[in-house]
Amino acid sequence: MLKTLRTVVLAGLVSLSPLAAGAASTKKLNVVASFSIIADFARHVGGDRIDLRSLVGANGDPHVYEPRPADVRTIAAADIVLVNGLRFEGFLRRLIEASGTKAPVVELTKGVRPLKSTEQAHDRERSGHHHHHGDYDPHAWQAVPNARIYVKNIVDAFCSIDPPGCTTYETNAKAYDATLSVLDDEIRTTIARIPPHKRVVITAHDAFGYFAHEYGLTFLAPEGLSTDAEAPASDIASLIRQIKRDKVAAVFGENITDPRLVQRIAAETGSKIGGELYSDALSRPDGPAATYVDMMKHNASTIRKAIAPDVP
């Protein structure tokens, strides 16, 4: 009985403290995220205590982003800058130098076990000589366990720069982490329903290495890890041969890539276009991937519906 009472009292304190802390500080933490997916993580952790801006917005491609003059001012005014790291944001170094910002720049992939880009690139036969030996695949958010690490890193970063808000950040993150844990289970269940021999799909660029590694699929992509170079014709030809030989179930467009390449591959191989996956950016608020959780659910269910439509 005593234990139950104490639990109730503690729960009451926890739910009150964010309000008290919020009232005590008037100035919000000025947070800049490099792209939309990181901004969504930051919003869940920071809640009302932060003002949040994303440099690359919905449906924007961080690989080839060209900063605007306004971005220099945004970074200059930041209290903290959240980035992916693993050399994902090629535009960032120039921008930070130009802004003269003293704000900490926090790489959220710290503590993630990075996948070597060669793990995927060498999975398939390729005739080109442009493998990025020694580079890591930066798309770590595409596995939910890694997203949970990003969130933990955001809490640590916010707590170090805004100690009075730490309880709020930890409370917010705990609730969000529970959501991510459920999401992770849902994706495993969805993919497990697909017969293993069917789990081979095509996307435009190699953004789904962590998804493949975590949940047990194979993704083939003509464009490689970045979207900044066109796929060589020889690579596309060899991919088309492989699709025909392996009877790949479906090809998918991506929200950040030109649809013509996958349309051509679908036409030449007779495979169907399974829909659009969200890789390196969220959709706009009225789209199917307005949040990270929605994005991951959308991708898993779109793949499942395309390659195993008979499976519930």
Distances in Å between the Cα of 49 and the Cα atoms of 44, 66, 90, 290 are 11, 29, 29, 21
CA–CA dist 197, 38 (Å, integer): 34
Backbone phi, then psi, for 234, in 5-degree steps? -65, -35
- Distance (Å, whole) CA 240 – CA 95: 39
Tell the smallest beta-carbon distance from residue 289 to Zn ion (Å). Answer: 15
If DSSP codes are grouped into helix, strand and coil, which group holds residue 300? Answer: helix
Q: Which of residues 201-240 bind Zn ion (CB under 5 A)?
A: 207
Which tokens is 143 given? 């596995």
CB of 7 to Zn ion, least distance (A): 45
Judge whether 182 and 200 are in contact, CB under 8 Å.
no
Q: Return the number of the residue (78 or 207) whose C-beta is nearest Zn ion.
A: 207
Among residues 118 and 167, whose Cβ is nearest to Zn ion?
118
User: Nearest CA to 148 among 185, 173, 113?
Assistant: 173
Residues 133-162 that bind Zn ion (CB under 5 A): none
Nearest to 215 by CA among 193, 187, 196: 187
Do 108 and 134 contact (CB within 8 A), yes or no? no
Q: Helix/strand/coil (H, E, C) string of 51-83?
A: EEEEEECCCCCHHHCCCCHHHHHHHHCCCEEEE
Q: Least distance (Å) from Zn ion to the CB of residue 32?
A: 20
Looking at beta carbons only, is 106 or 207 nearer to Zn ion?
207
CA 227 centroid distance within chain: 15
**Chain residues 275-304 in contact with Zn ion, contact rule CB under 5 A:** 280
- Minimum distance, C-beta of residue 56 to Zn ion, in the bound complex (Å): 11
| Shortest spacing between CB 158 and Zn ion, in angstroms | 26
- Does 89 help bind Zn ion (rule: CB under 5 A)? no
Considering beta carbons, is residue 76 or 91 the nearer one to Zn ion? 91
User: Looking at beta carbons only, is 92 or 207 nearer to Zn ion?
Assistant: 207
CB 299 within 8 Å of CB 277:
yes
In the complex with Zn ion, the residue whose CB is nearer, 74 or 257, is 257
How many residues bind Zn ion (CB under 5 A)? The answer is 2
Q: Could you tell me the CA-to-CA distances from 153 to 127, 136, 188, 285 in Å, in that order? A: 40, 19, 24, 25
CB nearer to Zn ion: pick between 35 and 215: 35
Closest separation in Å from C-beta 308 to Zn ion: 26
Cβ at position 98, least distance to Zn ion in Å: 24
Looking at the Cβ atoms of 277 and 303, the one nearer to Zn ion is 277
Identify which of residues 184 and 280 has a Cβ nearer to Zn ion in the complex.
280
CA dist., res. 14 & res. 163, Å (int)? 16
Q: Which stretch, 26-34, 119-127, 156-164, 199-207, contacts Zn ion (CB under 5 A)?
A: 199-207
Gyration radius of the chain over CA positions: 21
Least CB distance from residue 295 to Zn ion, whole Å?
14
Q: How far is the CB of 68 from Zn ion (least distance, A)?
A: 21
Q: Which residues bind Zn ion (CB under 5 A)?
A: 207, 280
